Each structure stands twice: as C-alpha cells, then as structure tokens.
Amino acid sequence: MNQLIYAFATWLDTHSWSTQLHESFYMYNWVESTHVLALMVSLGLLFLIDLRMLGLAFVDIPATAIAHRLFLPMLIGFSVMIVTGLLLFYAIPVRTSQSLWFRIKVVLLIAAAVNAWLFHRRMQDAGSSAAGSWDLAVKAPRRLQIGAALSLIFWGFIVICGRLIAYDWFDCRGEPSPFVSTITGCIADQTQF
C-alpha cells in the first residue's frame, strides 16, 4: 500500500505543473490563502449548524431552517476547499503523502464525512417521525446532538492536523523510528522526498 502511494506521489511529482505550483511564491500562497478563506466559509457555517443543534447558538431560529438554509453556501465553501486542498497536495505530493499529520487528517476527514452522512439521515428521520416537533426546541434530539458534537471534534482536529503538516518532526528525511516510519509510509532507500 505504502509502495503504491509512494509510486503515485512520485508520478505526480514528475509533472511540471506540480513543480511550477510549488516553486511559485504567489500562486502557491494564493491557493493556500484561498484554502484557508474557504475554510472560514464552510467550517464557519458548519459550526453554526452544530452549535444550533447543541443549543449554544441561534436557539430562537428553527433548527431545520438553520441546517437547510446554510447547506448550499457551506457546500460551495467545501467545494473550493477541496479543490484548493487537492492543488496543495499536487504541489508537494511526496512529502505530503508521507506526512503523519496528513494521514491522520485523511482518516479524520473520512470519519467526518461518515458522520455528516449519518447526521443528514438522522435529521431526515427526526423530521419525519416527530413532524418537526423538536424544530423550535432549544436542543435537537440526542442523536443529532451527538452528531453535531462529533462534527465539531472531528473538524477541530482536522484543522489542527492541517496546520501541523507544515512541521517536519516526523518526515522520512529525518529517519524517524520504525513505528513512525511504518505509519508515515517511508520507503527503504527512497530517493524522492
């Protein structure tokens, strides 16, 4: 698996566009800034939904109104964030794919996506079964509250891991311990970093 990821990353690294993006001070910084500003839109709106479900914000406004109205702008923010995130990976593929923080971030992203899907399903179930009786309640039903809390936790750690990718504490170049080397996918005698 690690060999496959490394082969894919080195193949991406051979693209001239990847090198150009990495070497371009302005372009790389513009992409990264857009990634972070899109995060402010998407996560900002997602957190508003989560805080409403937990009864910590917008308690006067129906919970489903918050969730439904903010869904589209949040999705637009997420789309920009995903595109710019992929470009950032494309710019530095080998090092990023072998970053411990990036790998944790990907696992957390999958967990957050599964949680979002479950949250969406639970919301539909809660809406149809209780006929929206909880809509004006301060807190959403317990299952939705758990989903909202998990969403806040997952995304909090995703942002922390994203920030830590910039640090080289566990990079393969630094010859980490065998355990770290295995989970970060360092390859014996690898030539590209």
CB-wise, 113 or 160, nearer to other proteins?
Answer: 160
Spatial CB neighbours of 55, under 8 Å, sequence gap ≥ 6? 138, 139, 140
CB atoms inside a 10 Å sphere around CB 13: 19
- Which residue, 39 or 88, is less far from other proteins as judged by CB? 39
Using CB under 8 A as the binding rule, whether residue 21 contacts other proteins is answered as no
Beta-carbon neighbour count of residue 100 at 10 Å?
A: 19
Taking CB under 8 A as the criterion, the residue among 4, 16, 26, 178 binding other proteins is 26
Is 126 or 152 the residue whose CB approaches other proteins more closely?
152
5 by Cβ neighbours in 10 Å (0-12 / 13-18 / 19+) ranks as middle
SS3 98: coil
Please tell me whether residue 156 binds other proteins under the rule CB under 8 A. yes
Q: Does the protein bind other proteins through residue 159 (CB under 8 A)?
A: yes
Q: State which of positions 42-71 bind other proteins (CB under 8 A).
A: 43-48, 51, 57-61, 65, 69-70
Binding string, residues 76-115; x marks residues near other proteins by CB under 8 A: ----------------------------------------
Q: Check: CB of residue 161 under 8 Å from CB of residue 101.
A: yes
Amino acid making up residue 42? S
CB atoms inside a 10 Å sphere around CB 72? 10
Told to check if 116 binds other proteins by CB under 8 A, we report no
Question: Of 5 and 70, which CB lies nearer to other proteins in the complex structure?
Answer: 70
Q: How many CA atoms lie within 13 A of 12 on its CB side?
A: 21
Question: Which residues of the chain form contacts with other proteins (CB under 8 A)?
Answer: 25-26, 29, 32-33, 36-37, 39-41, 43-48, 51, 57-61, 65, 69-70, 73, 155-156, 159-160, 162-164, 166-167, 169
